[in-house]
Amino acid sequence: MYRASFQDREGRTVLVMAPAKQNTSSHEGQIRFLVYTLENAVLNLPEGQEKMVWLIDFTGWTMANAVPIKTARETTNILQNHYPERLAVAFLFNPPKVFEAFWKVVKYFLDPTSIEKVKFVYLKDEESMKVMHKYIDPKVIPVEFGGESDVVYNHEQYSELMTKDDIKTANIWAEDAKTDHVNHAIGGALVPEVTPVPSLITT
Pairing of strands 118-121, 52-57: unpaired
Q: Yes or no: say if 107 and 115 are a contact pair by the CB < 8 Å rule.
A: yes
**Is the Cα torsion angle 52, 58, 59, 65 positive or negative in sign?**
positive
pLDDT in tens, 116-159: 999 999 999 999 999 999 999 999 999 999 999 998 887 787 77
What pLDDT sits at residue 170? 79
- C-alpha span between 56 and 58 (Å, rounded): 6
Pure H helices in the chain:
27-43, 69-82, 99-107, 112-116, 126-135, 155-186
30, 43: one domain: yes
What pLDDT sits at residue 194? 45
What pLDDT sits at residue 191? 47
- C-alpha span between 89 and 92 (Å, rounded): 10
What pLDDT sits at residue 62? 82
Q: Yes or no: say if 37 and 3 are a contact pair by the CB < 8 Å rule.
A: yes
Reduced to 3 states, what is the DSSP secondary structure of residue 56? strand
> Which CATH number fits the domain that encloses residue 39?
3.40.525.10
38, 114: one domain: yes
What pLDDT sits at residue 185? 52
145, 189: one domain: no
- C-alpha span between 40 and 30 (Å, rounded): 15
Q: Considering the entire predicted model, what is its pTM?
A: 0.75
Backbone φ and ψ of 23, nearest 5° = -115, 20
Ranges of residues in the chain with a pLDDT under 50 are 181, 190-199, 202-203
**Is the Cα torsion angle 181, 182, 185, 187 positive or negative in sign?**
negative
What pLDDT sits at residue 197? 47
DSSP state of 149: B
22, 114: one domain: yes
107, 94: one domain: yes
* Number of domains forming the structure of the chain: 2
Q: Look up the domain containing 194 and give its range.
A: 154-203
Reduced to 3 states, what is the DSSP secondary structure of residue 174? helix
Pure H helices in 44-150:
69-82, 99-107, 112-116, 126-135
Q: Yes or no: say if 192 and 67 are a contact pair by the CB < 8 Å rule.
A: no
First-to-last C-alpha distance (Å) of the chain: 14
140, 187: one domain: no
What pLDDT sits at residue 202? 44
60, 147: one domain: yes
168, 122: one domain: no
| CA 89 to chain centroid | 11
